């Protein structure tokens, strides 16, 4: 498949319809281990990359950069007159677990010590919601990559949040010999474990998930301001 892309602040963003992306991921899941590095780009990540050249280079080394953010969708439409479909990280993970189950793929979640959800929480939730037995483990540099679950993992989710999860995958992806895909998914598992309540579907459909987060977590106000207001203005006037 010929992948078209655009650049926002010098960071590559791949243009997929949902169907095209699903077909590409199915192809990867059915194939041999290629250690494909996937990111879900949102305005906050794009702003971090704008300020950090090294992080921007890491994102550009990723194999697939997927749109996850109404702000990015809006900017693409206004600046490039093109429709860009969004695939939120939580929705992508939910869909992937169905595909993982049908193929009986070994799955590992590498968990941040700062995560609201523990490895036990994540394993229990995925079992209850998808009927899947997965592995989940805090990252400890000593002997982590010698573990059997790491050596055999075919799908790897990393929930460190940006930019740490992308730095981790870029640094260590070759240490997962059986991996078909590796994804940075931020707080996705906090939704799946119900530690954080996700916005109602109607709010997600019209791009108001940020308002829900603001109401529920006012301490995120600065981050939401940057994503909703600062990002589109800078992206529309940027020459990059």
Per DSSP, the three-state class of 8 is strand
Per-residue pLDDT of the chain (240 residues; tens, 9 = 90+): 467 899 999 999 998 889 999 999 999 999 999 999 999 999 999 999 999 999 999 999 999 999 998 899 888 888 876 677 889 989 999 999 999 999 999 999 999 999 999 999 999 999 999 999 999 999 998 999 999 999 999 999 999 999 999 999 999 999 999 999 999 999 999 999 999 999 999 999 888 999 999 999 999 999 999 999 999 999 998 866
Q: How much is the pTM? A: 0.94
Phi and psi dihedrals of 15, rounded to 5? Answer: -100, 115
Answer for the pair 162, 184: CB distance below 8 angstroms, yes or no. yes
Cβ atoms 188, 90 nearer than 8 A: yes
Distances (CA, A) of 105 to 23, 89, 153, 173: 17, 19, 8, 18
């Amino acid at each position: 498949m010929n992948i078209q892309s655009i650049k926002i602040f010098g960071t590559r963003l791949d243009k997929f319809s949902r169907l095209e992306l699903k077909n590409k991921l199915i192809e990867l899941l059915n194939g041999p281990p290629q250690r494909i590095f996937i990111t879900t780009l949102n305005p906050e990540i794009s702003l971090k990359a704008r300020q950090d050249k090294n992080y921007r280079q890491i994102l550009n080394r990723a194999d697939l950069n997927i749109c996850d953010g109404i702000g990015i969708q809006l900017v693409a439409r206004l600046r490039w007159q093109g429709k860009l479909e969004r695939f939120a990280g939580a929705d992508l993970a939910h869909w992937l677990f169905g595909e993982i189950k049908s193929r009986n793929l070994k799955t590992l979640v590498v968990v941040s010590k700062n995560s609201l959800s523990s490895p036990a929480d994540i394993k229990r939730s995925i079992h209850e919601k998808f009927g899947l037995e997965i592995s989940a483990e805090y990252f400890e540099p000593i002997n982590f990559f010698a573990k059997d679950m790491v050596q055999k993992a075919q799908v790897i989710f990393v929930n460190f949040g940006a930019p740490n999860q992308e730095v981790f995958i870029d640094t260590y992806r070759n240490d997962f010999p059986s991996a078909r895909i590796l994804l940075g998914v931020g707080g996705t598992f906090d939704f799946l474990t119900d530690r954080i309540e996700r916005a109602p579907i109607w709010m997600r459909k019209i791009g108001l998930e940020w308002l829900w987060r603001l109401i529920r977590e006012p301490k995120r106000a600065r981050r939401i301001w940057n994503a909703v207001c600062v990002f589109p203005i800078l992206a529309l006037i940027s020459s990059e």
